[in-house]
Structures are given as structure tokens and as C-alpha cells.
A and B are shown apart, each in its own frame.
Chain A
Amino acid sequence: MPDRAVPARVSTPEAKASGVRPFYGYGLGLRTEHFDAVLNEKPAIDWFEIISENFMVAGGKPRHYLEAIRARYPLAMHGVSLSIGSTDPFDYQYLAELKQLARDIEPIWISDHLCWTGNGGINSHDLLPLPYTEEAIAHVASRIGEVQEFLGREILIENVSTYVSFANAEMEEPAFLAEIARRSGCRILLDVNNIYVSSRNHGFDADAYVGALPAEKIWQIHLAGHSDYGDYVIDTHDHPVRDEVWALYARSLERIGAVTTMIERDDHIPPLAELVLELDHARRIGSRFEQANLAACA
């Protein structure tokens, strides 16, 4: 693929070297249902995020469309199978395939989740919660270090929605995430919807959560819809982003400045144009904070 899109807005080389987070604008999750629309309608989207595992296949339509879309848009790789918190040994075949995909598509970055997905060789295919303990910090930070060493690049780690917390917790979730980022050198993918969902389920202050994180480490934001059952909230990605999450997003940007942002939709997927309109809302909120970023990058 000789000709490829480059991010429309990037930090200067000097800013990159200084570790200032780059700003790539506003993206969407790339979904099979939208492959043709992306190529035919050429929507005004700054970048797309792919689920890495969906393209870790030998060939056929998935790889065909991936190449065609990569020629026009920057891509980020977002994984669901790293199982960074599992006490099982790493699946190095998976890591090798992940690295090969990164070689193939040259993503802006690679991310996965602060969770575990399986144990004892059995995969739940879910993002399961970790206990916020020193033992888990040491384990996860060490594993992120291994992954980063193997991939030859820093990764982004995302906070997940949780429905259970553990009695042996020694700290709150943001302190846990911040310390893992500090020790491992990874960056943070802040899922604002997940913060909202977990804050409702566990009764913590979502704004205080954001405020407790190192702002300079937050390189990307996820937005998504959830299902509110009154007594509890589930992260379902099957609705538009709800007003309370938009509000938390705006308050978060006030604290941390404009951050590369995307919207995830995994079920009840509407036409692409509808998601582009929804993304424009994120763009309008973010634009109020972009000047500060540009000043930092100039």
C-alpha cells in the first residue's frame, strides 16, 4: 500500500519527541455494515478504529476492505483479546499476529483493555474486572511492559465497565489505572461511557475519577451508549451516546483538554451518516478545547 492517508491533524515532530499527546481529531469504530458506505460516501471522519481481532484473518473481504479503507483513512487498532490481567501465560501467537497487523496497516496506535478475559486456558470472551490491589498492579504493569517490548511501541489501556468490585481492593480504580500507566509507560484510553456506567453501579464520583488521572497520559477517548435499567447500568454500545455521558465528556475535556475521540457502536448499528452526525456533536464539544492543544503542539 504505497499511498496512505495520514492523520489530518498531528502534533509537530518536536511535540512528539517531547511526549505531548498527538491530536488526531474525531473517529468512528469501523464496522462491517459500513464498509461500502465508507468507500462510496467518503465521510468526513478523521480516522477509524478497528477491532484488531476482526482483521487477524488470512484474507478475503475483511482484509480487502481494510486495505482500501486504510488507503483513505488513518486507523487505530483496538483489541479485545490481550487479557492483560490474566494470570495465564501470554499467547505469543496472538501477539505475533497483532504485530503483523500493525506492520500491515501502520496504525496511529494499538489499544486494549484493563481487564482479563480468561483463566486456565478458558476464554470468557468478556472484559472481566480486576481487583485493585498492589499484586494486580505489579502483574499488569509487568505484562504491559512485555507487550510493549514485543510490539516495539507503547500501547493504550482502556478502563472497562464493571458490575462487581472486590472486597480486597486497596485503592480506587483511577489510582489503580494511574499507577499502572506510571509504572508501565502505557497511555490511557479513557472510556467516558464506562466511567459513567461504573460510577452508577458502584456509586463513585465520575468527575473525581477523571480528575484523579494524569491528564497527559490520556491519549484517546471512547464514547458509547449504554442501557439504563434504573438500579444498574450496562455498557451495551447499542444506543446513541446519552446526554449524561456527553455532559461528562465536556466536563472531562475541561480538565484535560481536547483528546482524540471516537464513538463505538456495536449493536443496532444505524446508517453511517447517522453516526457521522453523532460524531459532529463530539466535534462541536471538542472544538472548544482544541486551541489549547494546538498551542501545546506549535
Chain B
Amino acid sequence: MITLGSLEQQFLSHVRGGATFPRECCAQGLVDSDIGLSIYANAYGSRLAEALENDHPILSKYLGDTLWAEFCKGYIESHPSQVRSLRHFGAHGAAWLTQHKPFSKHPLLAELASFERELLDVFDAADAERIDWTVMQSLDASAWPGLRLGFHPSLRLLATATNAVDVWRALKDERSPPTATSSSTPARLLWRDLEHISRFRPVEADELIALRSMFFGQEDFATLCERLASDHAAESVPMMAIGFLRRWFDEGIVCSVSSETGSGD
């Protein structure tokens, strides 16, 4: 007699489009077992495709029905869900698009997928109290070189080589998307504001250096200034760096400051 574990393995294989579940293992009710099994198999594919569509509404619109269906079919086959929540099922979508033709010939597609994925992560990232610029005004001058910032958990930095975000914006606004081209800025910054609204904006080259230093690298203010000084006159660097910090505070993405010579949040 078939064990519970074996029954589950064989049943799941059938549902996923693999080996057929043995008909003799099914009881015949009013509904033929072939129809019953097909209900589960159809639900499997449509549920996963629906999850991808929920997470990537703009990518699906951009691809159109045929290519979107091809993406869903290919992704579902190569990435059986190993996650508990459908929220994470499409996490490898961007990587898949870079590896499979014809999608891989259009790098904009993977960037569009990455952007929509980042928006999802921004949406339900952890909450944290934000601090405003008045904290900095009370900071002792000696604390500045060792100053480090703690950023809001929703903050994301997405490198952009194409105009995927412009395409996203146009389709979101129900306008015709621009022709695919290279990005006018090297990155986009994404975060969730105090009202739980997801925000994003372009990041220029100097600010990208600053974010990589203080956000990704968790480096201090002195190190940031050294990095900026490689491209700019030394006397202009402190004001440029302070300008970036001020903007980040005003945008509500800074949650803590600390310094080797003192800290406060």
C-alpha cells in the first residue's frame, strides 16, 4: 500500500506536470479522478503565474500576453517554489530574464523586474524611527570625522544601466513607454516615507559614491570625504558631503547617527 510520503511525492509531481499520478490510487467519486487531478494541476500553474503578475504588473504589461506567458512558464518550470510565501516566489525573476532568450537580449527587462522587486521589499520592510537634522546641529565638531549613519530599513539602491524606471513610470501612468535606451543616471534610490508611501529618485555619480560609502560600506564621514576628494577639489568636498547628508535627513531615510567620539539617536 502506498505510504503517505510516497503519495504526496507522486501527487505533487503530477500537479507540477511531471509523472502522472496512478489512476488506481484514486477513488472514483462523482467527478472522474482525471478531472480532479487536472483541477489541482491547473490551479498550480495559474496560482504561481498570478503571484508573478501581482509582483510584476508593469513587466507583464511591457512584455505583452505571449512573452509574459512564456516567462511565467519558463520561470515556474525552472524555479519550483521553495518559499513559504508567494510574496517571495518571483525573487529570481530578474536573474532568470538575464539567462534565457529572447529576454536576455534586452537588459531592460531584468532591470524592470529588479525595480519591481525592490518596490516590494520597500513596501513591507521593517519600520524604524527617523531622526531629523536638528540632531546634527547639536553634534560636536570633533565628532564629525568619525560620524556614521544608520539608514531606514526600507532603503534600497538599484544600479541602472537602462531606462527601465522611465519605462515603468510611463506604463504606470498609462502612457506609451519610451524606446529602450541607456540610463541617464547610474542608480535609483528607493525608500518608504513616513506615510508608508514608496518613493524613488535618480542618484547621480557623486551621490552614488557617497551612498556606497556610508550606506553599503558603513564608512565614516572622513572616509566619505576622502573618496569624494579623488574627483573633486578638496575645499569643495565637505560642503558637497554635508549636502548629501542634509538631503538624506530631509528625505527621512536616516534613523541614527553615531561617532567614535560620541553618539546619539
A164–B12 CB distance below 8 A: no
CB neighbours (8 Å) of B122 from chain A are: 60
CB neighbours (8 Å) of A91 from chain B are: 84
- CB proximity of B49 to chain A, nearest CB, Å: 12
Does B95 belong to the interface (CB within 8 Å)?
A: no
A122–B82 CB distance below 8 A: yes
> Which of B26-34, B56-64, B138-146 contacts the other chain?
B26-34
Q: Mark B173-213, 1 if CB is under 8 A from A, else 0.
A: 00000000000000000001000100000000000000000
Does A209 belong to the interface (CB within 8 Å)?
A: no
A81–B85 CB distance below 8 A: yes
Partner of A166, one of B7, B86, B123: B7
B interface residues, tally (CB under 8 Å)? 49
- CB proximity of A1 to chain B, nearest CB, Å: 14
CB neighbours (8 Å) of A87 from chain B are: 4-5, 8
Partner of A58, one of B15, B24, B29, B126: B126
Q: Which of A39-87 contact B (CB under 8 A)?
A: 53, 56-64, 81, 85-87
Partner of B29, one of A59, A94, A203: A203
The listed residue with most B CB atoms (<10 A of its CB), out of A123, A135, A203, is A123
B127–A60 CB distance below 8 A: yes
> Which of A4-12, A124-132, A217-225, A269-277 contacts the other chain?
A124-132
B4–A61 CB distance below 8 A: no
> Which of B36-44, B102-110, B228-236, B246-254 contacts the other chain?
B36-44
A122–B81 CB distance below 8 A: yes
State the CA gap A200–B30 with chains docked (Å): 7
A120–B125 CB distance below 8 A: no
State the CA gap A231–B30 with chains docked (Å): 8
CB neighbours (8 Å) of A85 from chain B are: 4, 8
Q: Mark A105-141, 1 if CB is under 8 A from B, else 0.
A: 0000000000010111111111010110101100100
CB neighbours (8 Å) of A202 from chain B are: 29-31
A interface residues, tally (CB under 8 Å)? 48
B44–A126 CB distance below 8 A: yes
The listed residue with most B CB atoms (<10 A of its CB), out of A57, A60, A201, is A60
Q: Say yes or no: A63-B127 contact (C-beta < 8 A), given A135-B3, A201-B29, A202-B31.
A: yes
CB neighbours (8 Å) of B84 from chain A are: 53, 81, 91, 94, 123
State the CA gap A91–B83 with chains docked (Å): 11
A136–B4 CB distance below 8 A: yes
State the CA gap A92–B206 with chains docked (Å): 45
Excluding A85-B8, A201-B30, A202-B31, 11 further A-B contacts by CB distance (< 8 Å) are: A58-B126, A60-B125, A60-B154, A61-B123, A64-B127, A81-B84, A120-B9, A121-B82, A122-B82, A125-B44, A135-B4
A-B contact pairs, 27 of them (CB 8 A): A58-B127, A58-B153, A60-B124, A64-B127, A85-B8, A87-B8, A118-B12, A122-B12, A123-B82, A124-B12, A125-B51, A126-B40, A128-B40, A131-B4, A131-B7, A135-B3, A163-B31, A163-B40, A164-B33, A164-B36, A165-B29, A166-B25, A166-B26, A167-B25, A231-B31, A231-B35, A232-B36
A contact set with B: CB distance below 8 Å: 53, 56-64, 81, 85-87, 91, 94, 116, 118-126, 128, 130-131, 133, 135-136, 139, 162-169, 200-203, 231-232, 234
